[in-house]
Structure formats: structure tokens, C-alpha cells
Amino acid sequence: MTRRDQVTDAAIATLAADGLRGLTHRAVDRAAGLPEGSCSYYFRTRQALLEATVTRLAALDDVDLIPPGMLEGPPPALPPEAIVDLVAATVERSATEHRARMLARYELSIEATRRPELRAALAAVGERYRLLAAGLLAAAGAADPQRQGRALVAFLDGLIYDRIAGAGRKPLTHEEIRASVAEAVAAMTRHPSGS
């Protein structure tokens, strides 16, 4: 792990624990256990720190949530059942073992509504996952994979958000999430009769 990774990992932890208001260079230095001024040495501005944190979140997710090689070249042809397994596992892991990352991502997403540069960084990262979803659905026979890929990612995001911040209601179980994902994927890969 590089020192820059150590700083951005501390920024992720700070965002998850204290929100955007708590994210300062000094707070990140404390969270990383580094001398004061370390964060600002690597990321002179708050914007630079935010954008680097977005990039680090994506790099961590690429390793922990996406099967090896799946983001390189065209996605493999997977049967709908394998897509369901991948999406359901992503929801589960994002809401549990990678919960802090998701909380940090939510903080960054809200901030991006006011910062066009941050929105551009988040959109670029998100587009990779939308293209992956579209490619997986296309290989599984989806009729409109570009639109359906975006919808599948939005559905996944909603399931994760509900699991993490679900307004006090009983969260969906893993089995309920998997059943819901299976229904969505089946609907997206089934062709209307006669086509």
C-alpha cells in the first residue's frame, strides 16, 4: 500500500464515521496515524482529496467486488443465474463487509450534486460498472442492454442503500435480495413473445 492509498483509505474511514463535515486534512492525518500535514502534502486541496477518494473507492471495489478480469475487455457470456449470483453477492458484501465504503460513497454522491468536478469523477467510475452490466446483459440476450444495464446498476444501488439506511424498516434478507435480483434479471433477459 502506498502512502497515498493510506491517506485515501483514512479519508474513506473519516467520511463513513463523520460525514463530509468531518472530512478535513487534519482529521485524515489523525485517522491515518500520520504526522499533521501529510494529507495536504499529497492532496493540496479538498477537491483533490475528494477525487482521489473516489478513485480509491473504485480501485478497492474492482479488487473486492468484481471477479478478476471482468473489467478488461468484453464481459464474458454468463447465464442469467450467474449474473444473479454476482449482483446479489455485490449487494450483500457492499452492505456488510464494505459498509464504510458505501457510506463514504453516499457522502461523496450528495456532495457531487453541488460540485461538477466531483460529479464528473463519480460518473466516470460509475460508467465502467454500467458498461459491465450492459455487457453482461447483452451476452445473456437482453433486448436493450444499454438501458437495462443502467437500470440494473440503479436497482443494485437501491438495494444496497435500503440495506444500509432503510428508514428503520426491516431490511431485506439475503434470500429476498437474491429473489428480487433474479426477478429483475429474468425480466431483462427474457424477450417478449414473438421476438
| pLDDT score at 191 | 55
Report the distance separating Cα 62 and Cα 55, nearest Å.
11
Q: Which domain holds residue 69?
A: 3-189
pLDDT digit string (tens) for the chain, length 195 residues:
899 999 999 999 999 999 999 999 999 999 999 999 999 999 999 999 999 999 999 999 988 888 877 777 787 788 899 999 999 999 999 999 999 999 999 999 999 999 999 999 999 999 988 999 999 999 899 999 999 999 999 999 999 998 898 766 787 888 999 999 999 999 999 855 434
> Does residue 194 lie in a domain region?
no
| pLDDT score at 195 | 40
> Does residue 138 lie in a domain region?
yes
> Does residue 42 lie in a domain region?
yes
> Does residue 117 lie in a domain region?
yes
| pLDDT score at 193 | 41
| pLDDT score at 157 | 94
> Does residue 77 lie in a domain region?
yes
Handedness of CA 12, 18, 21, 24 (dihedral sign): negative
> Does residue 52 lie in a domain region?
yes
> Does residue 102 lie in a domain region?
yes
Which residues, in sequence order, are CB contacts of 164 under 8 Å at separation 6+? 95, 99, 102, 103
Report the distance separating Cα 30 and Cα 146, nearest Å.
43
| pLDDT score at 112 | 95
CATH number, domain with residue 48: 1.10.357.10
Other Cβ atoms closer than 10 A to 20: 15
Q: Which runs of consecutive H residues, i.e. helices, occur in the chain?
A: 3-18, 25-32, 38-42, 46-64, 80-95, 99-112, 116-139, 145-165, 174-189
If one counts the domains in the chain, the total is 1
Q: What is the pTM (predicted TM-score) of this model? A: 0.88
On whether the CB atoms of residues 75 and 36 are closer than 8 A, the answer is no
| pLDDT score at 26 | 97
> Does residue 30 lie in a domain region?
yes
